[in-house]
Amino acid sequence: MSEGKQLVEDESTALDKIIHYFPYFAISITILMFAIYFIRFHGGLGDHNAFGTFGDFFGGILNPMLTFFTILLLLRQLRYQRSELYATVRELQNTAKIHKETINHNRAVDIYEKTSNTFEMSLAHFFESLDYNFVKIPASGDDVVPLGGLQIPKDRIIRKINNKVSLNTLLPQWALVKPVLDSDKAENFINHLRAALNRTVRHGNKVYTLANTYQQLEVNNLLYLEKFKRFNDKLISLQTHIKALKLKKDAAPVTEELDILIGDSRSLIVRAENPQT
């Protein structure tokens, strides 16, 4: 048998035990027959007829035993041949598995190299969408600054400050956002918020789709997973900020697609970190 192959059966089977102990049994039977013969003839060999009869008796006992032993050896040889076949099959299966894994790895690397720029751009668009100012909230009438500097020339125009709000500044601008949510402009604000979220989720879905492809192809986690984790952390942070707004219960839900994307992203990270589960 070639080196590195292991037998399917071990050496402790019933067949091996029979073969191992059979010579002791055969020798014991032979000694017993001789003992009976010499006892019968009182230590002599007897006449020719008696000795011939004993030979027939001895052959009649020993020949079936030898035949049985030969059959056992044949069965044992067949078992070893079957074990050799099983080992060869396993070796071929392992070779085929390695070959398949190599093909899949090369395919995964090829796809990643072709789409990595798209993945990076999708991530960039996602983070840019978080800074997109989806509404402007005017400051109070007393909050004014001159256009050209600290001093206010008489011939210069004074303008009010418009505070721009993005998904990233929902909480930092809470002092301005809360009065809007408590006013008759709340519905309009929520509609703009929903539109901004949908834009962000669209970019996020592109990121997830590519990352999911990488995970299914078993692309090396070092190439994309840490970036995707930061992406997922930002999604969770955004979800937390929106929940902190404490929108009225009768307001139309604005985070449905975001919640779905977060659930899918978490599941992807678990699968990537624990591929056997």
Tell whether 233 and 139 lie within a shared domain: yes
Same-domain status, 17 and 66: yes
Mean pLDDT of 113-140: 89
| Together in a domain, 162 and 68 | no
pLDDT tens-digit map of 170-188:
888 888 888 888 888 888 8
Write the pLDDT tens digit of every residue in 233-263: 999 999 998 888 887 765 556 788 999 999 9
Q: How confident is the model at residue 6 (pLDDT cuts 50, 70, 90)?
A: very low
Examine residue 118 and state whether it is found in any structural domain, yes or no.
no
pLDDT level of residue 268 (50, 70, 90 thresholds): very high
**Structure confidence at residue 44 (pLDDT):** 55
Q: Has residue 125 been placed in a domain? A: no
197 and 92 together in one domain:
no
Average pLDDT over the chain, rounded to whole? 79
Task: Tell me whether residue 104 is in a domain.
Answer: no
What is the extent of the structural domain holding 206? Answer: 132-273
Q: Are residues 156 and 66 in the same domain?
A: no
Q: Is residue 107 part of a domain?
A: no
Q: Say yes or no: 158 and 238 in one domain.
A: yes
Mean pLDDT to the nearest integer, 104-123: 89
Number of domains the chain is built from: 2
What does the pLDDT look like over 128-186, one tens digit per residue? 999 998 888 876 533 333 334 334 344 444 445 568 889 999 888 888 888 888 888 88
126 assigned to some structural domain = no
Considering the entire predicted model, what is its pTM?
0.60
The answer on 152 and 29 residing in a single domain is: no
Do residues 158 and 265 share a domain? yes
Written as one string, the DSSP assignment of the chain is: --TT---SS-TTSHHHHHHHHHHHHHHHHHHHHHHHHHHHTTTS---HHHHHHHHHHHHHHHHHHHHHHHHHHHHHHHHHHHHHHHHHHHHHHHHHHHHHHHHHHHHHHHHHHHHHHHHHHHHHHHHHHHT-EEEEEE--TT-EEESSSSS--TTS-EEE-EEEEEGGGTTTTHHHHHHHHTSTTHHHHHHHHHHHHHHHHHHHHHHHHHHHHHHHTT--GGGTHHHHHHHHHHHHHHHHHHHHT---TTSPPS-HHHHHHHHHHHHHHHHHH-TT-
Q: Is residue 112 part of a domain?
A: no
153/264 same-domain check: yes
* Inside any domain, residue 108: no
